Amino acid sequence: VEWRAQQAGEVLARLIAVCTPPEPKPTARGSAGTRNSPRKRYRLNPPSPIRALNFQLSNRSALYGTLEGPIHLVEIDDPTRPKLTLSGHEGRIRSLELHLSKPLLLSSSVDCTVRLWDLESGECLLVLSSDLGTVTSATFAGDAIVTCSEDRVIQVWEDLGKGVPKDLRGHTGSV
């Protein structure tokens, strides 16, 4: 998360407001607390449950992946209407990871794939398939892609997924 962005304090306050549960409602026995909150709350109302979430504070946006596979990019100021929808995964999204210096997104899914997305065009640039099982997470290590799966294997794909991955084995449980 980029905390040095301009207006980071305001964005953080909104982020906290979105993640803070509502105050208790008054009951017949008396007031359980005021219902007037100075924070603005947002409701996404996605078509299916959210399974992965990532914030881009510098762009004032958030990415979320759903149980059914689509990934949505929304603006923090108006999260009710997706600015971009990325479709391609055929199962629940497990992780979303942003590149530090390029407009790229990695997504992993229970469909045993990792997808590399261009966030400016919405295009899927690359699909990495795993015959090793559900991909539990994917991340960038510079321009390398590192994936973890339920079969206890970590794979390192050099040069943004080009070539053959290097397998790192030895874990005794899911990674």
The predicted-structure confidence for 16-25, as pLDDT tens digits, reads as follows 666 666 666 6
d(CA 168, CA 136) in angstroms, rounded, equals 15
Q: What pairs with residue 135 in β-bridges? A: 149
Give the contacts of 2 (CB within 8 A, at least 6 positions apart).
8, 56, 57, 58
Containing 106, the helix (H) or strand (E) segment is: strand 104-109
The predicted-structure confidence for 57-69, as pLDDT tens digits, reads as follows 777 888 989 888 8
Among 87, 89, 64, 88, residue whose Cα is nearest residue 74: 64
The predicted-structure confidence for 98-141, as pLDDT tens digits, reads as follows 998 899 999 999 998 999 999 999 999 999 987 767 888 899 99
